[in-house]
Structure 1
Amino acid sequence: MPNEKPFVTVFTPNYNREHLISETIESILNQSYTNFEYIIVDDGSTDNSWDIIQEYAQQDNRIKAFRNKKNLKIVKTRNKGFKLSSPKATYFAIIDSDDVAISKRLEIQVKFLEKNPKYGLVGSNKYIIDENSQIIGYRNYPLSDKEIRKTITIYNPIAQSSVLMRKKVINMIGYYDQKWKFCQDYDYWLRVGRFWKMKNIKTPLIKYRISKNQVKSKSIKDTIIYTYKIQEKAIHKYGYPDSLLNKVYRVFLRVILIYPKIVYILYRIRFSKFPF
């Protein structure tokens, strides 16, 4: 595409993903939409990730590689990506270092936001892949702004790795809240939704990877705790409506916190349909 097309920042945070980062990088470099910079921030990896990232950066000048001197953890690293985005960028895309973008992802999402100025961000449905990049599942999300708002105080209806947002949104909303160790993206979408419409594309635009060691009972319990706290904040601080269904669901969250092992088993059986 010609350079008069809107400029996009694509951002990937990385930590110890030497066996996966190449596939992620190549999925971005092979996008049909080419007017972008690709910022990769390595969070002090102890494996060979940084060497791999540097090698790609030497081959393609769209890649801008940065490395944290020490491990800052994911939220600070994500916020660093916001800060490093070029001032000329109109849009900001996210892709995590174990996920894969479909080749027309940026093209489809930029086209949507260009045609719909009231929308602050656009995500998509996603494929679920295993450690060998084989598709093993599929995750549907609510598509329209109306559908997203019906569910956003019940569960996170937007896949972070699928998001393309306006830089105007970041300038207005700010960065991720660093107090949220988990679910910081969920809080961010709730903040965005106060001022902008949101959309998910029906066609899956990313492949989201699930590894054998990724899902742990403890991490699910922590996710539930943060989900509950963020929902309470959305209702009592941001003014989102508190329906009977929302209240019942939050009671459900409190109950399953007592038995997180059950949630872990359910997640392993049908993770592609699980709402967290």
Structure 2
Amino acid sequence: MTPNFSIKHSRYIVHEVPAIVAMAVYGQDREEWVAQAISSIRQQTYTDFLYVIVIDGEIPQSMYDLIMQHGADDERLVIVQGTVNRGLSSCMNFAIDWSLSLKPQYFFRMDADDVSEVNRLEKQINYLDKHLHVSILGTGLVEINEQNQKVGARVMPQTNRQIKRLLPRRCTINHPTVCIRYNVFTDGYRYNDSLRNTQDYFLWIELASKGYIFCNLKDKLLRFRRVNDFYKRRGLIKSLNEFRARIRAMCELRRLTPYNLFYACFVLGLRMMPSGIIKMAYKLDRHILEKIVKH
């Protein structure tokens, strides 16, 4: 077991389980949102899963007690403590490696400030059971604010061809909605531990270049938290990582075109603009994306 992580709570009695849901919790997370996120998974119509919650470094005692209480109430929860903050990639890789011995088929992502619809797991598993060639499955989402009010929506391109064609310009999978077949991990692929952001984008590029099949459901199966500082949160490092990801996607997927290069440079410049301009660009991007999905 990785020395940076230790199991703090587990009462599961199964030797094999079909699905793993993995979520990382941080000290900056809001307690009420963490409670909503955990409850939304515990209340799923599909019930045959383990829910691995990785506490990434120190968190307030009240949040720790909240998580442990959920663990006491539900034997499907496995609670992991990280000694120091290692980032999302390390947390997810630990959950993946730890659960391999249980021979799961499906790996679900969940974020600590989002809310999964009650039938999310059931719908994604039903789809994957009927479409065995699909390895990575995302869904649409509804964007909500701090008061749980709807403020937007995001539906990604559905087909593998569309997803890969647009990957050099945008991350075409809503990461918090994703379900990944475990054969991807048994084949040796993982999140990049050296990245503190955009790790999902880089993983999709790597998997797309290796021929794995992607798909997105139109169904909006997650409520994604869009807080007031959403348009200000991308710093220079994240913006540069996104630029690097776009360049890599162009090279790996053989889509190095003048338009794609212009788009990557334009977005990098846009990230440095005032938040008001970023907000307008975000709304325009959502409008263009809706047009692409419809056609």
User: TM-score, normalized by length of structure 1?
Assistant: 0.89
Distance 2:179 2:170 in 1: 20
Q: In the alignment, what sits opposite 2:227?
A: 211
Conserved in 2, the CA contact under 8 Å of 1:6 and 1:91? no
Q: CA deviation at 1:86?
A: 4.5
The alignment of Structure 1 onto Structure 2 pairs a total of residues equal to 270
Q: How does 1:182-201 map to 2 (within 5 A)?
A: 182-193=197-208, 194-201=210-217
Instruction: Please report the RMSD computed on the Cα atoms of aligned residues, expressed in angstroms.
Output: 2.4
What is the letter of the counterpart of residue 225 of structure 1? L
Counterparts in 2 of 1:147 and 1:126: CA distance versus 1, 3 Å: same
Q: Residue 137 of structure 1: SS of its match in structure 2?
A: strand
Match of 1:13 among 24, 27, 34: 24
Match of 2:35 among 12, 19, 22: 22
1:227 counterpart = 2:227: no
Distance 1:50 1:264 in 2: 36
Conserved in 2, the CA contact under 8 Å of 1:123 and 1:200? yes
Match of 2:78 among 51, 56, 64: 64
Q: In the alignment, what sits opposite 1:163?
A: 178
Q: In the alignment, what sits opposite 1:179?
A: 194
Match of 1:34 among 23, 47, 66: 47
Counterparts in 2 of 1:33 and 1:162: CA distance versus 1, 3 Å: same
Distance 1:12 1:187 in 2: 19
- Range moving further from structure 2, 171-180 or 11-20: 171-180
Note the residue ranges of structure 1 that are not aligned, 5 or more in a row.
Answer: none
1:91 counterpart = 2:106: yes
Counterparts in 2 of 1:199 and 1:215: CA distance versus 1, 3 Å: same
Q: CA deviation at 1:6?
A: 7.0
Match of 2:117 among 102, 105, 111: 102
Counterparts in 2 of 1:265 and 1:112: CA distance versus 1, 3 Å: closer
Counterparts in 2 of 1:121 and 1:265: CA distance versus 1, 3 Å: closer
User: TM-score, normalized by length of structure 2?
Assistant: 0.83
- Range moving further from structure 2, 174-183 or 28-37: 174-183
Q: In the alignment, what sits opposite 1:266?
A: 280
1:43 counterpart = 2:59: no
Distance 2:193 2:22 in 1: 18
1:242 counterpart = 2:256: yes
Q: Residue 170 of structure 1: SS of its match in structure 2?
A: helix
What is the letter of the counterpart of residue 127 of structure 2? F
Q: CA deviation at 1:228?
A: 1.0
Note the residue ranges of structure 2 that are not aligned, 5 or more in a row.
Answer: 1-13, 290-295
- Residue deviations 1:180-212 (CA, integer Å, cap 9, x gap): 222110011111212211000001010100122
- Residue deviations 1:31-68 (CA, integer Å, cap 9, x gap): 11111010000112332222111000000000001111
Q: CA deviation at 1:253?
A: 2.9
Conserved in 2, the CA contact under 8 Å of 1:153 and 1:240? no
Counterparts in 2 of 1:178 and 1:274: CA distance versus 1, 3 Å: farther
What is the letter of the counterpart of residue 7 of structure 1? P
Counterparts in 2 of 1:128 and 1:272: CA distance versus 1, 3 Å: farther
Q: Residue 114 of structure 1: SS of its match in structure 2?
A: helix
Q: CA deviation at 1:216?
A: 2.0
